[in-house]
Amino acid sequence: MGDAHSPLTERQLWILDQLRNGMQLTRKMVEDQFAIGDKQAKRELTGLTNRGMVSFIRKPRPGYYVLKTRQIYQRA
């Protein structure tokens, strides 16, 4: 999931869609949307962070994710 050459997962595409629409997304929101645990949600988000697509804003707690650039990531 963190490999820059592997395709994005459906979860990651959903995350990007939400962020592109201006949402400040938390890890908990990803967990709830997909009924997954915190470790899996972190893997999905870390994959996008490692690709340079999203940034994590630490404050205010618990923090949230935003698109890193103005580039619009679209589904293939």
The predicted structure's pLDDT at residue 62: 87
Q: How far apart are the C-alpha atoms of 59 and 41, rounded to whole Å?
A: 19
Which of the 8 DSSP states describes residue 37? Answer: -
Q: How far apart are the C-alpha atoms of 66 and 26, rounded to whole Å?
A: 9
Taking domain 10-67, whether its CATH number is 1.10.10.10 is answered by: yes
Q: How far apart are the C-alpha atoms of 76 and 30, rounded to whole Å?
A: 21
The predicted structure's pLDDT at residue 67: 93
Return per-residue pLDDT of the chain as tens, 76 residues: 455 678 999 999 999 999 999 999 999 999 999 999 999 999 999 999 999 999 999 988 889 999 986 555 555 4
Tokens of 55: 């940034």
pTM score, two decimals? 0.82
The predicted structure's pLDDT at residue 18: 96
